[in-house]
Structure 1
């Protein structure tokens, strides 16, 4: 049931990444919950912003109904969390919660926590309901302790959720969400019933995401791009640390070298970060997509990814390394977990037989799957799951 039918809620979202140009699941949920008529407070992770005090209202206003709160680091927080957990729980998490509650200035209905590292005791917010959303494979006893203070645990990966199966709260496994700009274009494609196998004389392959994310198999990317000079490869997303809100610190050498490789290829276009509406329109012009996360290297075992739904919403094939959450479906063109090295051969097979992989039936199947997983649908699923536990 939409929130507008249940009354306006005050919702606090605790994020592991600060709000920026590249939007992740937690930002999309903030926007969706606000559009449903809620007052949403999006809390950036602790970082040096020059603000005084533990928490302060940020000047950025990313969307109607969304207020961003900046938080500042606590000295020796990591040491306290691992060596003096009880002190960390009450003194650090408790102080953050108190400062955030003061800024919200009214009772909190729900806390949606993506950051169990900073906030190890969700009860400190005094919310009516606390949801822990674990979208990355976190380790450490403090995460299990944070989980025990939640009313519900949500994840997009069975690999991640299995890690927390012994924790008490009820658990919901679901897909990532599809943003509204992608959903609108997907609905239009179904309405037009026009599904060309290829959209131009030169084939175009798309990739979107943070090019400095650890876990990409850059060797596969090099082999595929070098082996197909006749194909254009288009990359969207941050490819440097400048203005990158999803990567901090020093980037690994292999990823920096891969970015330099991309810059020097005549058949590669680097577009940088685009707003969601522009990105959705640009991806609609692709003939197929690449997914290059390695199950051996990726933090989450390449078990799922937000970008896959964006790809599928176009209807076009996704040529992919192994993704466990899509195993048993024919939504991705992927090999076995142990056969990542065969991706260049699979890429050749798909791109040489686009009339098969881009058939109207296959395109409609991909689009319908994506549309069944919009952020609006995911909010409803979480709501229904929460209500069922009462």
Structure 2
């Protein structure tokens, strides 16, 4: 699942009847030891309870959201701080585990930044529904292989909301279709985000929203299980 997994990788791959991975980069690494290796990506949990209204802090007209583990090393906090300062009329909403928040005091100085703590899984759909746009701001240039397929992307797509993200290789085709705005260079992030902000009605229109949801529903856990069963049955 993780590019940097190195515990008995060679032996595990060689002795397996079937190798599965979440990105093409990992499959390429596996195939050095086992030709029966396949990229199945991440699954989507489409079993969601009825979405309840989520009470947002702040009072801006436009709301950007991020939900996930805020302690991971891949988040580009320097860029996020610049975005929060550059867009003072936008509220930035963050949810998730954040034991290291004391290391980022400048983030809290911004009146348009709000932190909700770790939310129950059942509250995430309503959190996403309250947003105009969902964000992933990772250090792609530093960790390209590790960030080729963040798990949260499938959750974001399932919400139907527009996504602005640092580059994630596994979803490049969706970026070309306008379902995600992916940015390879942090230097371009502010201008690209500004373009999306000024055209939110277009990026969140029904056909794009439905296409995101459809893509997620094509990758439900049940469908991935069926795919794996076929690989096992057919010997890969």
Is TM > 0.5 for Structure 1 vs Structure 2?
Answer: yes
Residues 347 and 299 of structure 1: CA distance in aligned 2, closer, same or farther (over 3 Å)? closer
Give the match for residue 244 of structure 1: none
Give the TM-score normalised by structure 1: 0.54
Q: Does 1:159 align with 2:4?
A: no
CA distance in 2, matches of 1:141, 1:237: 28
Residue segments in structure 2 that go unaligned for 5+ positions in a row: 52-58
Residue aligned with 2:167, SS: coil
C-alpha distance in 2 between matches for 1:310 and 1:281: 12
1: distance between equivalents of 2:102 and 2:142?
A: 16
Unpaired stretches in structure 1, ≥5 consecutive residues: 1-134, 187-199, 242-254
Please name the residue that 1:358 is paired with: 204
Secondary structure, aligned partner of 1:327? helix
Distance in 1 between residues matched to 2:81 and 2:142, nearest whole Å:
17
Shift of 1:319: 0.5
Q: Give the conservation status (yes or no) of the 8 Å contact 2:132–2:161.
A: yes
Aligned to 1:274: 119
- State the Cα distance separating 1:299 from its structure 2 match: 7.4
Q: Which has the higher contact order (CA 8 A, sep 6+)?
A: 2
Q: Which residue of the partner structure matches residue 305 of structure 1?
A: 150
| Equivalent position to 1:334, from 177, 182, 188 | 182
CA–CA distance in structure 2, aligned partners of residues 173 and 144 of structure 1: 17
Distance 1:343 1:238 in 2: 25
For 2:119 and 2:233, how far apart are their aligned partners in 1? 37
Query: What's the Cα RMSD here?
Result: 2.2
Separation in 2, partners of 1:372, 1:256: 40
Distance of 1:179 and 1:328 partners within structure 2:
22
Cα distance change, pair 381–136 in 1 and its aligned pair in 2 (3 A): same
Match of 1:220 in 2: 79
* SS class of match (2:116): strand
Change (3 A) 1:354 1:276: same
Secondary structure of 2:15's counterpart equals coil
* Change in 2 beyond 3 A, CA 1:185/1:321: farther
Q: Structure 1, residues 11-48: CA drift from partner, whole Å, max 9, x if none? A: xxxxxxxxxxxxxxxxxxxxxxxxxxxxxxxxxxxxxx
Preserved contact between residue 30 and residue 37 of structure 2 (Cα < 8 Å): no
What is the aligned length?
A: 226
Q: CA deviation at 1:382?
A: 1.4
Whether 1:345 aligns to 2:191 is: yes
What is the deviation of 1:265?
Answer: 2.1
* Secondary structure of the structure 1 residue equivalent to 2:130: coil
TM-score, structure 2 normalization: 0.87
User: Aligned to 1:174, which of 27, 35, 40?
Assistant: 40
Aligned to 1:22: none
Q: Which residue of 2 aligns with 1:104?
A: none
2:70 is the alignment partner of 1:211: yes
Q: How much does 1:283 deviate?
A: 1.3
Aligned to 2:234: 388
Q: Deviations over 1:306-361 (max 9, x none)?
A: 111111111111101111111132331013x3x23211111110011111111111
Distance 1:380 1:185 in 2: 27
For the pair 1:324 / 2:169, whether they are aligned, the reply is: yes
